Amino acid sequence: MNRSRHQEVQFKVNNVVWQTLTFIRNSMSNGSLKSKHWRGVRLGVNIPSHATPRRSQPLAMTITWKPPDQPWLKLNTDGSFNESNGKAGGGCLIRDHSGRLMVAFALPLTAHSVLEAELLAMHHGLVMAKELAKPIWLEADAEQAIKLVEGKEWGHAHIRRTMVHLALHKWHLTLRTTFINREGNKAADLLVKMGLELSDRQVWDAQAAPRGLKDIIRMEQMGIPNIRV
């Protein structure tokens, strides 16, 4: 509690004590309160030395995946790295303006960090997106990776080869990039979990996609949001 706040509390407490003592004195003078009524009673007031911290309340917000405008295609990517076993994986999917799946894939990656896995997933996704000859909207839940792609820095030495590939994609593609919270990137998150368990890349179209992936895509087509706390 700061000094001014402490003084304010102390003033209010002193005022209450003064009013109480005045009431007792007046009651004794008119005979309504006698000494035997309050014999042994001790008035005590504890003034806190500091403010009790307030617990922060959880804030809930809705995260909604949004389709791109025509003629853009949206590429959602995700990458993961497991430090315990050194495995890395990537997941990507491309959807059109209606939210319809065009192609999705999951693959194992050779990476040494989560950041490198995220950047590699973006690279592989853009390689596939380039074949569709449309403007590409790259979206991912890796804020640091997005900032690297948008900026002019090359990052640490172990990611610079991948950064060169991404720079070439920026040169040859009509590309925009955005960050989305993980709750809005659930489809790519599902794919990356599959990529961690694969020994080779696996590709799906809209008909052959896994059931869980189809369910997520359908919900996002309907505009159903996810809750982030």
Residue ranges covered by each domain of the chain: 3-52, 62-228
Whole-prediction pTM? 0.74
**pLDDT reading at 109 higher than 70:** yes
Is the Cβ–Cβ distance between 105 and 202 less than 8 Å?
yes
Is the Cβ–Cβ distance between 45 and 17 less than 8 Å?
yes
Q: What integer is the mean pLDDT of 84-98?
A: 95
- The helix (H) or strand (E) run that includes residue 76 is strand 73-81
**pLDDT reading at 5 higher than 90:** no
Q: Rounded CA gap, 116 and 6, in Å?
A: 52
Q: Rounded CA gap, 83 and 70, in Å?
A: 40
pLDDT, the chain, mean: 85
CA-based radius of gyration for the chain: 31
**What integer pLDDT is reported at residue 226 of this predicted model?**
85
- The helix (H) or strand (E) run that includes residue 84 is none
Secondary structure of residue 202 in the 3-state scheme: strand
Q: Rounded CA gap, 111 and 89, in Å?
A: 8
Burial class (CB in 10 A: 0-12, 13-18, 19+), 4: exposed
Q: Rounded CA gap, 63 and 141, in Å?
A: 12
Q: What integer is the mean pLDDT of 117-126?
A: 97
Parallel, antiparallel or unpaired: strands 175-179 and 61-63 = unpaired
The two tokens of residue 55 are: 């617990």
Q: What integer is the mean pLDDT of 9-33?
A: 63
Contacts of 96 by beta carbon, 8 Å cutoff, 6+ apart: 67, 68, 73, 74, 102
The two tokens of residue 9 are: 């509390």
**What integer pLDDT is reported at residue 155 of this predicted model?**
76
**What integer pLDDT is reported at residue 158 of this predicted model?**
85
1 C-beta neighbours (distance < 10 Å), count? 14
**What integer pLDDT is reported at residue 119 of this predicted model?**
96
DSSP assignment letter at 139: E
**pLDDT cut 70: percent of the chain above it:** 75
Q: Rounded CA gap, 39 and 23, in Å?
A: 16
CATH number (3.30.420.10, 3.30.2090.10, 3.40.50.720, 3.10.105.10) of 62-228 reads 3.30.420.10
**pLDDT reading at 7 higher than 70:** no
**What integer pLDDT is reported at residue 117 of this predicted model?**
96
Is the Cβ–Cβ distance between 106 and 85 less than 8 Å?
no
pLDDT band at 41 (very low <50, low <70, confident <90, very high): low
pLDDT greater at residue 153 or residue 93: 93
**What integer pLDDT is reported at residue 154 of this predicted model?**
79
Burial class (CB in 10 A: 0-12, 13-18, 19+), 139: buried
Is the Cβ–Cβ distance between 80 and 58 less than 8 Å?
no
